[in-house]
Amino acid sequence: MDNDAAHPEPAAPTPRDGRDSRWERHREERRAALVDATIRAIRRHGAGVGMDDIAAEAGTSKTVIYRHFEDKAGLYRAVAARIDGRVVGNVGAVLARSSAPPADARELVASTVEAYLALVESDTEVYRFVVNRPLVDLPLADDPVGGTVDQVTDQLTGLLLEALRSPTTDASRARTWAIALVGSVRAVADDWLATPEADRAPRAAVVDSLTDLAWHGLAPVLATHTTTTTRTTPIASTTSTNATS
């Protein structure tokens, strides 16, 4: 028996129809346009916006929206992903501009806090929509907000390790500090936005308060790794002087 006949070569993959690529691109563009419309609706109606308001803003029906996102949770994820890109991009840009030299570590903390608060203040209702998830009825296994926090935490952890400049520094300690900083900024931002605007502290004051809190916790650790002269030298000199007097 002919072996070639018994074991025919697999057929070459069928080339993708150009219409498939065009349709896929059209779907992506349509999804992006629906996310844009959802964000406009949130800004117009507030974080508690409903699907009817979103459909009206998009000039379509809820059925069409569900065709592109399956359900409300799918639409929420798409909006959260868009805002995630802005948060990570803005805060990440601040962190990337800093080489984190120890002398500028306080400025690094202040810039990170400022970038986050400025973003949430500039688009308050959209931020509330993402954090409070009004469209989602059940908990999400893939929490988009948690993913954003993790990315910013990873960036900040790396810069804290760079600031300490010590190969013996435990990376888990730097990550703990980064988690504490990012978590406190997010918690304060949520409370700050929940405060009536007339009673709300100025953003600059909140940035200063958070920076002071973080800095007083980190400064002793940073100083330990950046001071070239140890504190034992002046202590020894004082002891010697007292002994001769």
How confident is the model over 16-30, as pLDDT tens digits? Answer: 556 667 778 888 899
The answer to whether residue 239 sits within a structural domain is no
Query: Tens digit of pLDDT for each residue in 110-151?
Result: 888 888 899 889 999 998 898 888 888 777 777 777 777 788
> What is the residue range of 190's domain?
80-227
The pTM score is 0.69
Q: How many domains does the chain have?
A: 2
Query: Tens digit of pLDDT for each residue in 64-111?
Result: 999 999 889 899 999 998 988 888 778 777 777 765 454 566 777 888
Comparing 53 with 86, the larger pLDDT belongs to 53
The answer to whether residue 216 sits within a structural domain is yes
- Whether the CB-CB separation of 98 and 34 falls below 8 Å is answered with no
Helices (H), 70-202: 72-97, 105-122, 124-132, 144-164, 171-194
CATH number of the structural domain spanning residue 100: 1.10.357
CA distance 185 to 211: 10
- Whether the CB-CB separation of 130 and 144 falls below 8 Å is answered with yes
Of the residues 70, 92, 126, which one is the last residue of a structural domain?
70
Q: Are residues 100 and 213 in the same domain?
A: yes
The answer to whether residue 206 sits within a structural domain is yes
What tokens appear for 164 in the block? 């300490």
Please choose, from the candidates 12, 133, 116, the residue with its C-alpha nearest in 3D space to the C-alpha of residue 79: 133
Q: Are residues 92 and 140 in the same domain?
A: yes
Burial class from Cβ neighbours inside 10 Å (0-12, 13-18, 19+) for residue 236 reads exposed
Taking residues 160-186, report their average pLDDT: 78
What pLDDT was estimated at residue 136? 81
- Whether the CB-CB separation of 149 and 182 falls below 8 Å is answered with yes
Q: Are residues 58 and 149 in the same domain?
A: no
CA distance 146 to 152: 10
Taking residues 35-63, report their average pLDDT: 95
